[in-house]
Amino acid sequence: MKTAWQRGTHPPSCYGAPAMPRFPLILLFSFFLGFGGCREKPWPEGPPQSQDEQLAESVWVSRCAECHGRTGRGDGPGAAALKQKPPDFSDPEWQRIEDDDAELEAVILLGGPPLGYSPEMPANPDLAKTPAVGPLLVKKIRSLERK
């Protein structure tokens, strides 16, 4: 004689069981959505949020990248014509030696010569009007170090 199972009627203990293996999958999926897909990295890795970040990013792209290159390797389109090549900001060794944020900010605002660097590094005196932007440009430069 056939049991209930063999006749095709599932014993009550089976109901709900197929949902079980799906549960960890849903968890896994929402984990990737929540932590990988949707949440963006903060600037300077991700897009700028505040007005100051937007300004810093646009200054970097429109002025600095010309010589320093967008990723800071010193390979911008204008770099070839320079006698003094810009440093490679992605180099961990450069980041380690040039560890003084205040000095970098001063070079950015005052240009090379007052701090003993080449006059080919231009001054950006207008940035004094937006005091948050200097430190943000230094932050941008720090973020360019290769990992």
Helix pair 101-110, 133-143: axis angle to 10 deg: 120
How many other C-beta atoms can be found within 10 angstroms of the C-beta atom of residue 95? 17
* Binding residues among 84-113 for ligand HEC as defined by CB under 6 A: 84, 86-87, 98, 103-104, 107-108, 112
Q: Nearer Cβ to ligand HEC, position 27 or 80?
A: 80
* Least CB distance to ligand HEC at residue 147 (A): 20
Least Cβ distance, residue 80 to ligand HEC (angstroms): 11
Amino acid symbol at 42: P
Give CA–CA dist 134/62, Å, rounded: 15
Neighbours of 112 (CB within 10 A): 15
Q: Which residues bind ligand HEC (CB under 6 A)?
A: 59, 63-64, 66-68, 78, 82, 84, 86-87, 98, 103-104, 107-108, 112, 117-118, 120-122, 124, 137, 141
